[in-house]
């Protein structure tokens, strides 16, 4: 098995040398130029600023421009709506603090996957990677690019909804472009993330300042009876939290790329402590700005809340808002793609996905097979896409795994006492996260037991049908079948297995 892989690797290296123009005369000079030679592993190219931008840029995407309607609809009034936005920020911060301890204790990429593996073993980690790599990550990528496409195409169809085929084609084009950039260079993807994060913070500042000016002019009608008509249903409040937390989703993204962080012990917790409170403040202020300008009815009827806000407040320059929203959603999609590729890469490396997903580009040092695989799945999810159904489906499974990860932190306090913990949070915090996760998973099912939750559960456990023969038993015929496929894909994409760094 290894002979053919090594043959493929050798032929790729030789081909790379020939393309670089190696000759007998210039070998020494080229060797000097290229010293030190990089190991074929993911490089530590992500610093503190890029880490903060990844968190902020992935969290602030389409959510704040789509979710305000859903949070208001399920909460029933302005007061509880704003309280839910603030509570979601607190929850995201508490969750991220747990992840700061986990990420500095286990400095492996892959987020929850690596922590579940350490705490509970191979089976649960596999079910997580199966669900996340096959459904959660690509569906999130699809949702964000669909939001991008809706905002990007709306100005070209004034007075009506853009045709579905246009939205979906534009979404597919965005996926193709983002995957290409991420395959070409980690630094290029980071620069793009930093640029789009600056753009989205700028438009949020514009919206907040405009809202403050309108409040100063006495436009506070929406806040006069803020709690009138509040929802009292446990299930609908759970759904309001779902949609609010969808906007906050991304607080755990830095843990997916721990191996690529410069000085993770410092930069991981620092990025979290700067990034997430910043986003929480932005979200609450943006919602206050929305309610200052629009009544609850206007907000619920708006096809695109941020664009309607721009039309009312910034009339001659109202085109600025959709332009920056497009940039914001594109940047969020880039962050989602960046981290999703790392999860597929790590699970491939551990033998829980096909081996080719764990290979790295020989020239670019990017996990290109994993990135391409995530992009292909995202394009499939675009075809039947209904954004709200996908959000509920996504949140149900995601919060089950967030709860298990918080439980993993508690378990490892007793089972892995020897591990170094540069960051240590009070055990009450992961305990609270477990309880909140249980509520967010169970409440909507009890309130409205839709079939989509059953489908999601069946899909998660269907992974066992593959786990037992291919991972537990490691059947020979599967290896024989995959060997030539892996070798040909390896030669086609010029990728090699990562070098052992430990």
Residue 481 has pLDDT above 50, yes or no: yes
Q: What is the pLDDT at residue 391?
A: 60
Residue 11 has pLDDT above 80, yes or no: no
Residue 256: the pLDDT is: 92
Say which residues have a Cβ less than 8 Å from residue 403's Cβ, sequence separation at least 6.
433, 434, 436, 437, 438, 441
Give the DSSP H/E element, type plus range, for residue 355.
Answer: none
Residue 32: the pLDDT is 40
How far CA 14 is from CA of 7, 297, 359, 448, in Å, comes to 11, 66, 18, 60
Going by pLDDT thresholds of 50, 70 and 90, the confidence category of residue 363 is confident
**Among the listed residues 218, 221, 202, the one whose alpha carbon sits nearest the alpha carbon of residue 286:** 202
Least-confidence region, from 256-260, 271-275, 313-317, 340-344: 313-317
Question: Is pLDDT above 90 for 241?
Answer: no
Q: How many CB atoms lie within 10 A of CB 284?
A: 17
Angstrom CA distances, 489 to 1, 12, 133, 364, stand at 15, 12, 19, 16
Residues 314-332: tens digit of each pLDDT: 888 888 888 888 898 899 9
The mean pLDDT value of the chain amounts to 84
Strands (E), 389-431: none
This prediction has a pTM of 0.84
CA-CA-CA-CA dihedral for 70, 73, 75, 80, to nearest 10? 90
Question: What is the average pLDDT across 473-486?
Answer: 88
Quote the CA–CA distance of 129 and 61 in Å, as a whole number: 24
Q: Is the pLDDT of residue 93 over 70?
A: yes
Q: Is the pLDDT of residue 79 over 60?
A: yes
- Per-residue pLDDT at 7: 44
pLDDT at 77: 86
Yes or no: say if 393 and 459 are a contact pair by the CB < 8 Å rule: no
**E strand or H helix that includes residue 496:** strand 495-496
pLDDT recorded at residue 247: 82
The 3-state secondary structure of 153-204, one letter per residue: HHHHCCCCCCCHHHHHHHHHHHHHHHHHHHHHCHHHHHHHHHHHHHHHHHHH
Residue 271: what pLDDT? 92
End-to-end Cα spacing for the chain: 23
Q: Tell me how far apart the alpha carbons of residues 6 and 270 are, in angstroms, rounded to a whole number.
A: 41
Q: How confident is the model at residue 432 (pLDDT cuts 50, 70, 90)?
A: very high
Name the most confidently modeled range: 171-180, 302-311, 363-372.
171-180
Q: What is the pLDDT of residues 174-233, one digit of tens each?
A: 999 999 999 999 899 999 999 999 998 998 999 999 999 988 888 877 787 778 777 777
Which of 230-239, 242-251, 273-282 is the least confident region? Answer: 230-239
């Amino acid at each position: 098995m290894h002979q053919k892989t090594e043959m493929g690797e050798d032929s790729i290296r030789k081909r790379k040398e020939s393309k670089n123009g190696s000759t007998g005369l210039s070998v020494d000079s080229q060797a000097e130029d290229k010293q030190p030679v990089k190991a074929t592993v993911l490089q530590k190219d992500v610093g503190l600023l890029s880490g903060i931008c990844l968190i902020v840029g992935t969290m602030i995407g389409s959510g704040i421009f789509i979710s305000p309607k859903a949070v208001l609809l399920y909460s029933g009034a302005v007061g509880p709506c704003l309280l839910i936005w603030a509570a979601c920020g607190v929850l995201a911060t508490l969750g991220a603090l747990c992840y700061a301890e986990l990420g500095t204790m286990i400095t492996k990429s892959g987020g929850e996957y690596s922590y579940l593996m350490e705490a509970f073993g191979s089976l649960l980690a596999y079910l997580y990677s199966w669900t996340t790599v096959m459904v959660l990550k690509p569906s999130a990528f699809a949702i964000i690019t669909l939001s991008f496409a809706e905002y990007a195409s709306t100005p070209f169809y004034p007075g009506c909804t853009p045709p579905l085929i246009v939205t979906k084609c534009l979404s597919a084009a965005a996926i193709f472009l983002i995957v290409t950039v991420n395959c070409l260079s980690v630094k290029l993807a980071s620069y793009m993330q930093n640029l789009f994060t600056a753009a989205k913070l700028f438009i949020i500042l514009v919206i907040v300042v405009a809202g403050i000016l309108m409040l100063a002019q006495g436009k506070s009608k929406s806040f006069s009876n803020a709690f009138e008509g509040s929802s009292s249903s446990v299930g609908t409040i759970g759904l309001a939290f779902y949609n609010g937390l969808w906007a906050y989703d991304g607080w755990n993204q830095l843990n997916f790329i721990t191996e690529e962080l410069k000085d993770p012990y410092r930069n991981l917790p620092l990025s979290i402590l700067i990034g997430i409170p910043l986003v929480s403040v932005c979200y609450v202020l943006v919602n206050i700005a929305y309610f200052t300008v629009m009544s609850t009815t206007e907000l619920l009827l708006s096809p695109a809340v941020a664009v309607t806000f721009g039309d009312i407040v910034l009339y001659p320059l109202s085109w600025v808002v959709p332009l920056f929203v497009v940039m914001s959603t594109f940047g969020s999609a880039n962050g989602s793609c960046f981290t999703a590729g790392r999860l597929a890469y790590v699970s491939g490396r551990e033998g829980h996905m096909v081996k080719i997903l764990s290979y790295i580009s020989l020239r670019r040092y990017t996990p290109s097979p994993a990135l391409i695989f995530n992009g292909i799945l995202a394009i499939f999810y675009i075809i039947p896409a209904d954004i709200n159904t996908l959000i509920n489906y996504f949140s149900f499974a995601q919060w089950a795994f967030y709860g298990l990860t918080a439980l993993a932190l508690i378990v490892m306090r007793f089972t892995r006492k020897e591990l170094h913990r540069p960051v240590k949070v009070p055990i009450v915090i992961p305990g609270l996260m477990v309880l909140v996760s249980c509520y967010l998973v169970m409440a909507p099912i009890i309130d409205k037991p839709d079939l989509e939750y059953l489908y999601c559960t069946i899909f998660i456990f269907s992974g066992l049908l593959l786990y037992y023969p291919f991972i537990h038993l490691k059947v020979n015929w599967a290896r024989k079948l995959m060997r030539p496929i892996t070798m040909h894909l390896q030669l086609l994409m010029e990728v090699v297995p990562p070098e052992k760094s430990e």
